[in-house]
Amino acid sequence: MDDTKSTASGAGQPAPAARTSYEPRPKNGPGGRRPGRFQGPRPPRVCPFCAQKSKVIDYKNTDMLRRYLTDHGKIKPRRKVGTCARHQRVLAGAIKRARHIALLPFVSEATRGE
């Protein structure tokens, strides 16, 4: 419907991008949030570590671990990355090990001011 209208009304304005997928957001229950307030991008619904089969989180895999750090080098909260409680705990341990052997920063270089 939108498409036909925009072609008919002429080339003056480009048609607004069609919203391809619209799903109503759950207002409560697990993963639900308070309506009427912007709360940022939603994390994936399933824990990324439960989704994958491998049972251990390797502290030497820094590329993977870096995804769970903020730009400052802090560990991202569960609400941002969507990990389950158990895996968040294991992940935190792996990050801390990686920090000990200087594979990951405690504080990022930019924040340290170097």
56 touches another protein by CB under 8 A: yes
> In angstroms, rounded to a whole number, what is the distance separating the alpha carbons of residues 112 and 107?
6
27 touches another protein by CB under 8 A: no
What string of DSSP letters covers 52-79?
S------TT-HHHHHTTB-TTSPBPPHH
Residues contacting another protein: total by CB under 8 A: 16
86 touches another protein by CB under 8 A: no
Q: Which is nearer to another protein, 65 or 82 (CB)?
A: 65
Encoded amino acid at 52, one letter: Q
* In contact, 62 and 103? CB cutoff 8 Å: yes
The window from 4-12, 13-21, 27-35, 102-110 that contacts another protein (CB under 8 A) reads 102-110
* In contact, 106 and 99? CB cutoff 8 Å: yes
Q: Which is nearer to another protein, 2 or 58 (CB)?
A: 58
Q: Tokens 């209208």 sit at which residue?
A: 5
103 touches another protein by CB under 8 A: yes
Residues that bind another protein (CB under 8 A): 55-56, 59-60, 97, 99-107, 109, 112
